[in-house]
Amino acid sequence: MLSHDEVTTDHTPTAPQPDAAGRVLHLHRGGTSVVVDLDAAPHPAIVHWGEELTGSSEQTLRGLAVAARPQRVSGGLDEPARATLVATPGGGWLGTPGLEGHRDGASFSVRLELVDVQADDHRAQLSLVDREARLSVQLELSVGTAGLFHQRITLRNDGDSRYTVQHLHLAFPVPWDATEILDTTGRHLRERSPQRHPFGYGTYLRESRRGRPGADATLVLAAGRPGFGFERGRVHAVHVAWSGNHRLVAERSVSGEAFLAGGELFAPGEVVLAPGGSITSPEAIGSWGDGLSELAHRFHDEWRSRPAHPRRPRPITLNTWEAVYFDHSLERLTALADAAASVGVERFVLDDGWFVGRRDDTAGLGDWYVDPTVWPDGLHPLVDHVHDRGMEFGLWVEPEMVNPDSDLAREHPDWILRARMALPQSARQQQVLDLAHEDAYAYIAARLHALLDEYPIAYLKWDHNRDLLDAGSGPEGVARVREHTLALYRLLDELKAAHPGLEIESCASGGARVDLGILARTDRIWTSDTLDPLERLTNQRYTALLVPPELMGMHLTSPVVHSTGRTVDLDFSAAVALLGHVGIEWDLTATDDETRSRIAAWVELAKHVRPLVAAGRTVDVDGTEPGIDVRGIVARDRSSAVFTLTQTDTTVAYPPGRVRIPGLDPGRQYRIRVVGGSTTAAAQSGLEWQDHGIALTGRELDAVGLRPPVQYPQRSTVIELTAEDGAPHQAQGGAR
């Protein structure tokens, strides 16, 4: 590690030469550079985050820092303010501050100064202090293997009185020409719907106050050159790796500064530091790219490099919820397991309804004991049957929730999160347990360990079906979202440590808790409660800005979609689910032999492509005609790819015009064949490129493209492309 003196040189304010301009810090890895002006006032400022500055010398980097320093202007401060690492009004900054707090209403001013730097080529720790305010800060900056920029801050109270933290966030500067914002919003059954806005002067703020990110939360906050898409256009984005309340900010100042920022959102009085106490923020993580796909690949690549990332093939999963709901019986569920095994399912998950008193969603949550009236021999007969059919067994739980109509709530009402004598308004007839309450935590942990000890459970579907509201430690108590979230993390870590191999899914009334904080402790997310493939196209595209596709639950659904009532084609539903963690949400016992045969073919195709899904790069094609969706996954060595060509609606062109297939090696030649979807329709229409078995170069496929088949609306065709200079990438059966 380099010391403060080794990474910097003395700064002579009167010297105009760049080589005497002061001290800089250059972190770089994975195609990304972060350059920090260590001599900015009153403490360091980031002058560049983005493209790796290969070939830059120490002298030119110092010049870069000088080039970013603002000029004094009329009507402004005598020393122009900067958007420094932790900008505050005490340092002259009049925009959104990085830190706000006070000591019982006084001592609110903060002006931090740099006292030490420890750094190497891709990480640094900066120590800042305000001796007058009696505060100190440790800033951790790092550039990951794939070029993600990570920031974390620890604030310590060095005084002899309490310090209330109101606001703490981390800022990421963006280029001045990033004048368009992209974020996502939504609701239950329609999470992560994109929206765009001009990035003008002032502050654009997105906050989550739901005790979880929420269905309406933005997954990332992005700013880029106007018109940026998935394939092209420089864009930067920030994500807060936190599963509780948070805030994201985009701000453009008339002083010529533009930045994105993110951090935890504190309720009043939620963080009060005792003398000597400290708080460490969740990580704020920034990515950038030429187009949203490159930005997403940085998240995917770095997440996949984690030691804890799932390595084995993602098991084809059948979840029982939409098949049986609360109608549990051994006979019905063993028949469903038989049907699941017959189509190639590898993991059978028993959903809600297995525990005491749980005949509907109004009672039982919290009483985590197998219901003897439904399961007189426990779950053993079902688990044994599932294992005998060659499948893993998974179980649904919702440990953070409690029904007022439960033994737990009646015996321990003080374990329920509330801020008043009356309970918060109910949602789905349930309240939220205070996992930060030591006894409540111990009870839930004991029940989960007991289930995992008694049964060979390979997988927990961990649900969280309501927002937190007025979440406190009791009447006249303190806000509890932060401590509850930390307790949840501790519980997940404890369960994983005690039960090696256990996998956990983060489900939250669908996709309302999707963030890298929860994904650091779980193995997939439930992308949405809607299985409507038409709705899922947008949802899955924008979820994949952050989440690698193999961690996104994507299920084949019944012909009439439960969430929308839409009638959908089996092949369409399966094709939309193909490029993720594939599963089934359907009562297969109600299907005939021909339908099961078609499902089995899709399951076989999913098993064939899942190595590509787990390691490849997502491709979302811009500029297609409205009504046509083209997306795929390309192998990292670009030896093969799978794309779906989806007709979402009718188009003006009939037959449709050519679509591009980008992302392949321009100099290699690829054999193209249809492996699933509307194969028969394509053959009947005389699609000549299929009939003749053509091969095209990657450059030709990107620059010119090919004609998609004529399809009815809400139909998909799956094509496989295999480089002819490598071994054939044969599909094992495929879906027909």
| Residues designated catalytic | 463, 529
**Size of the chain in residues:** 736
Number of neighbouring beta carbons within 10 Å of residue 496: 17
The three state secondary structure string of 381-438 is HHHHHHHHCCCEEEEEECCCEECCCCHHHHHCHHHECECCCCCCCCECCEEEECCCCH
Using CA atoms, how far apart are residues 176 and 173, in angstroms rounded to an integer? 9
Using CA atoms, how far apart are residues 675 and 163, in angstroms rounded to an integer? 63
Using CA atoms, how far apart are residues 271 and 280, in angstroms rounded to an integer? 11
Q: Token pair for residue 675?
A: 């492996």
Alpha helices in 203-288 (DSSP H): none
Using CA atoms, how far apart are residues 135 and 90, in angstroms rounded to an integer? 13
Q: Token pair for residue 71?
A: 């000029």
Contact 585, 321 (CB under 8 A): yes
Per DSSP bridges, beta strands 347-350 and 392-397 are parallel
Residue 104: exposure state from Cβ atoms within 10 A (0-12, 13-18, ≥19): exposed
Amino acid 626 reads: P
State phi, psi for 627 to the nearest 5 degrees. Answer: 105, -10
Using CA atoms, how far apart are residues 97 and 273, in angstroms rounded to an integer? 19
State phi, psi for 231 to the nearest 5 degrees. Answer: -90, -35
State phi, psi for 596 to the nearest 5 degrees. Answer: -65, -35
- Hey, what's the torsion of the CAs at 681, 682, 687, 692, to 10 degrees? -120
Q: Token pair for residue 342?
A: 């017959």
Contact 639, 672 (CB under 8 A): no
Using CA atoms, how far apart are residues 614 and 500, in angstroms rounded to an integer? 21
Residue 655, helix vs strand vs coil: coil
Left, alpha or beta for 31 (phi > 0: left; psi -120 to 50: alpha)?
Answer: left
**Which H or E run includes 585?**
strand 581-585
Contact 213, 510 (CB under 8 A): no
Amino acid 649 reads: D
